[in-house]
Chain A
Amino acid sequence: MTASLRRTTLLALLVLGGASAQTYSGPNVTLTFLHGFTGPDRPVMEGLIKKFNDTHPNIQVRAQAQPWATTWQQLPSLVASGRAPDVAVINEDQITGFIARGAVSPLSPAELKAAGIDRSRFFGPLFATADYKGQSYGVPVSSVAYVMFYNKDLMKKAGLDPNKPPRTRADFLAAVQKCTVDKNGKNATQAGFDPKNLDTWGVSLYNNWVGSRAAYAAILQNGGSMVDQNENAAFNSPQAISAVQFLVDLVQKYHVARPNSTEEAELAAFSQGKVCFFPSGQWYLDRFEQQKMNFGVTFMPRIGGNVRDAAWGGSSHLTLPKQRAGYDANKRKAALVFMSWLTQPAQNLTWTSTGSLPTQPVVAKNPQFANNPISGVFDRLNSVYATSGYPWVGQVMTPFDQAWEAAYLGKKTVAQALNDGVSESNKQIEQARKNFQ
């Protein structure tokens, strides 16, 4: 190979591999990499690692896949005993807890820059998921989100434009009322409508934690939040109560959603063409595609309020766990190179084949998504918010899920349910706080 040809190849590689993936030129190192991608996503991750090892002769990544819960239980003792993996993947609901307890080391701006990791390349709230007190602790490698599936055929039947899913609360309410039709053919806006005998209905709401993510989105959309500035639970603010009240009204006042329903029942109903709008995790995309349904996917409309777009999201972040004193600095450099490489657009594009959403706008623009229904949410991926930023996500989200259940099932008023949830949550936070003193 002539020198000029080599230069051209190198240039081509650089262009294809993304702008600025840095290389590592130190002595050979072996990195251990702990991750929880144990499902159908496992071979994709293993393929990527093999590719990395093949193209980086002086870095060998040895990956270990194990269930997430096992990692959450083991990571503290691995870090405490100085045997932490060089790189570990931590999910959004755990990450701030591990950061606050000192299990993860911060990534300095200089380090990120040297490794070619530019946070502005990623969706903002997604990258910020692993931030805590002004420092970065992780780089997003995978992302899922709450979206809204819609049945195009049913929308057409109800006189709605299937290419224009609702975006505001008013649009949404009008659409779900038209979609809710009783066995006599009367819809929810007409006189004599019988909500007890529905043929089709507007929207799926249900009582488990996935169902409660609709309430989470609504609260953020109305300018509310889960915790206040002191990291105490605050999901009973007036904004939160009014946002959740609208969801409960959909069941109790407008009769456009079934009461007492379960995720399974609503999933089956959407699959059978009984319901127009099915808000849920984007992970059901595969299932509806296999059923050859005529459906679309859109971002959660602003049902809670008009302050901002918002939907819940989950994510996985590459992190560098805290190591014992005297840890090989070359390993940290190599680990950053690995993190950088794995989150480059080319690799992220490969990773989306597992059902993950793109982590960065440049990947979302890839033409391969043009005809994929999931691209219907891409215009607002920058408004996906994970549950992180405070160390006691469990103490906040469990009472929140319980509060949603009580409100949705009509066991408590919305205000009562959210107040009870916040009071329980804050008692638990008060106890958890002592761990950090």
Chain B
Amino acid sequence: MTVTQAPPQTTTAPAPLPRRRTNLEPYLYLLPHAVLFFVFTVYPIGYGVYISLHRWDLLSGRQPFVGGEFFRNIFTPGTPQFDFFWKTLWNTGFFTLVSVPLLVAAALGLALLLHRPIFGRAFFRAVFFMPGILTVSVMGILWRWLFDNQIGLVNAAREALTGAPPIPWLSTEGLAWVPIVVGTVWWTVGFNMTLYLAALGNVPQSLYEAASLDGATPWQQFRHITVPMLAPVTLFVVVTTALASFQLFGQSLIITNGGPNRSTQSVIQYITEEAFTNTQYSSAAAMGFVFGLFMLVLTAAQFRMMARDVKGD
């Protein structure tokens, strides 16, 4: 039998595109974002550096280079910048230290309660989430009224229940933080709660079943199953909440206007004051960079710490 073999077919590959064009293509896709990124991020940061190193005023004919003068002010005791930058940075840090644990714990607590099939679950989820859709001005005015020294509902309730004289919440250093922190927790806890609810839904039920067969108590189940399984979302919640708390501005601006004696003034409010009330743009830019650096270091430290926890080391 003769087999006539078909001549081997040579498949001709399409002529390769010139190398250069293939290299350009991905960059073209990136171009729209790159343009926005350069125009709205890189350029403003670079311009900000320029402003912070010069005595910058658009209306002035000269914008002399002053080097690190505005940065030095921040580190020279006796200047208003030294006094108020560090004071307001400490205020902001204090707010973060107090509010983050509250916001994480309250969110987890609420999520655990509302994860179980209780009556009115959807209603309560909505109730706790709802304040978050208010603007900061509505929220601020509400809590300022509640804690007013003379006509606030909190003092009125306290007097009705215990007969105690009113507490001057808004004009006492220290106490002025109460409406700001409580208000912020009430305002933003719903968002973290929703994240925790979603994460709780992803914990395999079989783990709890196996644990209860082994005789684990509810606390042990929570400690050894729920908490580790929620670690990634906890990392996310802690980092985003800490960053949001560091950006404290509207709440203290509206509730106490930073008072009394700047004790609740946030660093952002002070930087805004320096720029737009005192028209010291260069000084404000320098403070903005120092503050930004702080946030960067803190966030990096947080990530290192928490990433270890997530991996379970």
Residues of A bordering B, CB below 8 Å: 69, 72-73, 76-77, 79-80, 97-98, 101-103, 196, 207-208, 258-262, 264-266, 268-269, 392, 394-395, 398, 402, 405-406, 409, 411, 424, 427-428, 431-432, 434-435
Cβ–Cβ contact A76 & B276, under 8 A: no
Please report the C-alpha to C-alpha distance between residue A260 and residue B147 in the assembled complex, in whole angstroms: 13
Report if B251 contacts A (CB, 8 A). Answer: no
Whether A258 and B150, one on each chain, are in contact in the complex, defined by CB atoms closer than 8 angstroms, is yes
Q: Which of B150, B262, B273, B279 contacts A97 (CB 8 A)?
A: B279
Partner of B277, one of A102, A207, A398, A427: A398
Known: A207-B259, A394-B279. A435 touches B55 (CB 8 A): yes
B149→A260 contact, CB < 8 A: yes
- Given the contacts A261-B150, A406-B261, A435-B279, A207 and B58 also touching, CB distance less than 8 Å: no
Choose one: B55, B58, B168, B278; the contact of A76 (CB below 8 Å).
B58
Check A405/B260 contact, CB under 8 A, given A76-B58, A262-B148: yes
Closest to A72 in B: B276
Q: Do residues B171 and A207 form an inter-chain contact, with CB atoms below 8 A?
A: yes
User: When the two chains form their complex, are residues B283 and A264 in contact, meaning their CB atoms are under 8 A apart?
Assistant: no
Max chain B C-beta neighbours (<10 A), residue from A72, A261, A269: A261
A237 to B57, CA, bound (A): 33
> Is residue B145 contacting chain A, with contact meaning CB distance below 8 A?
yes
Contact with A262, one of B73, B80, B150, B280 (Cβ below 8 angstroms): B150
The count of chain B contact residues (Cβ–Cβ below 8 Å) is 31
Q: Are B150 and A73 in contact (CB under 8 A)?
A: no
In contact, A432 and B279 (Cβ under 8 angstroms): yes
Closest 6 CB pairs of A and B: A265-B150, A394-B277, A260-B168, A76-B58, A101-B59, A80-B58
B151 on interface, CB distance cutoff 8 Å: yes
Set of chain B residues within 8 Å of A207, measured between Cβ atoms: 171, 259-260
- Partner-A contacts on B (CB < 8 A): 55, 57-60, 73, 78-80, 144-145, 148-151, 165, 168, 170-171, 257, 259-262, 273, 276-280, 283
Specify which of B60, B151, B170, B278 is in contact with A395 (CB 8 Å cutoff).
B278
Separation of A114 and B78 alpha carbons in the complex (Å): 52
CB pair B58–A265 under 8 Å, yes or no, is: no
Contacts of A392 in B (CB 8 A): 278
Complex Cα distance, B280 from A411, in Å, reads 29
Contacts A/B (CB < 8 Å), 20 sampled: A79-B58, A98-B59, A101-B60, A102-B59, A207-B259, A207-B260, A260-B168, A262-B148, A262-B150, A262-B170, A264-B148, A266-B150, A269-B151, A394-B279, A398-B273, A405-B260, A406-B261, A427-B80, A431-B283, A435-B55
The answer on a CB contact under 8 Å between B151 and A265 is: yes
Name B147's closest neighbour in chain A (CB-CB).
A262
| Shortest distance between the CB of B216 and any CB in chain A (Å) | 54
Query: Please, which residues of chain A bring their CB within 8 A of the CB of B277?
Result: 394-395, 398
* A101, A102, A431 pick with most chain B CB within 10 angstroms: A431
Extra contacts besides A207-B171, A261-B149 (7): CB < 8 Å:
A398-B277, A405-B261, A406-B260, A409-B171, A432-B279, A435-B57, A435-B280
A392 and B279 alpha carbons, distance in the complex (Å): 9
- CA A28 – CA B277 in complex, angstroms? 39
- For residue A268, which residues in chain B have a CB less than 8 angstroms away from its CB? 151
B55 touches A434 (CB 8 A): yes
Contacts of A102 in B (CB 8 A): 59-60
CA–CA, A398 to B278, complex, Å? Answer: 9
Give the distance to chain A from B34, nearest Cβ to Cβ, in Å: 26
Measured between beta carbons, the chain B residues less than 8 angstroms from A395 are 277-278
A169–B148 CA distance with the chains assembled, in angstroms: 31
The answer on a CB contact under 8 Å between B59 and A76 is yes
Of all chain B residues, the one with the shortest Cβ separation from A79 is B59
Closest to A197 in B: B165
Residue of A nearest to B152 (CB): A265
